[in-house]
Amino acid sequence: MRFLVLKKSSLIAIFFTILIISIGSLWAYKTQHSYPTVSLGNSPNVQVIELVTGEFKTQSSDGKEIEVYRWDPGTIIVEKDNEVQLRIHGVNGDAHPFYIEGTSIKGTVKKGKETIVNVTFSKEGTYRLICETHKTMENNGPMIGYIIVD
């Protein structure tokens, strides 16, 4: 009969190696099930996205004021066929009447108020969230956000 003889220090090293691998696997498994980029509402199936209306302001070299309103974040990514809730907080600008291109969704975001939009996209693509008041550079825009449905 043959015996495998191990030193005590080898046994300790093997034990710690197994322990570190176990902790690593557990950590990898847990992070796989977390959602770091979106907040989830009451229902785990609803993708809740918080947006604000922002503003950039500066002066050109000849002293002219340049101003642009923006949706922030300017680009969001959502899942196809998934219920999405946009919570848009009005910060800069009094009112932003908007629509989402390719859908029947319309609304207005007012300063100090929250506008909630529930939407489910059944087709993949890039949809534009457009403010009707600030559509172009001449009108303190383009206040256009991009919704990527994947």
In contact, 132 and 99? CB cutoff 8 Å = yes
Report the nearest approach of Cu ion to the CB of residue 132 (Å): 8
Report the nearest approach of Cu ion to the CB of residue 21 (Å): 53
Rg (CA), the chain: 25
**C-beta closer to Cu ion: residue 131 or 147:** 131
Report the nearest approach of Cu ion to the CB of residue 26 (Å): 47
Of 51, 73, 52, 55, nearest in space to 141 by CA? 55
- 125-131 vs 95-100, strand pairing mode: antiparallel
**C-beta closer to Cu ion: residue 115 or 133:** 133
CA 111 to chain centre: 22
**C-beta closer to Cu ion: residue 88 or 134:** 134
**C-beta closer to Cu ion: residue 117 or 134:** 134
Report the nearest approach of Cu ion to the CB of residue 134 (Å): 4
Residue matched to tokens 């989830």: 40
Residues that bind Cu ion in the complex, under the rule CB under 5 A: 69, 96, 131, 133-134, 143
Q: What are the tokens at 97? A: 């009447």
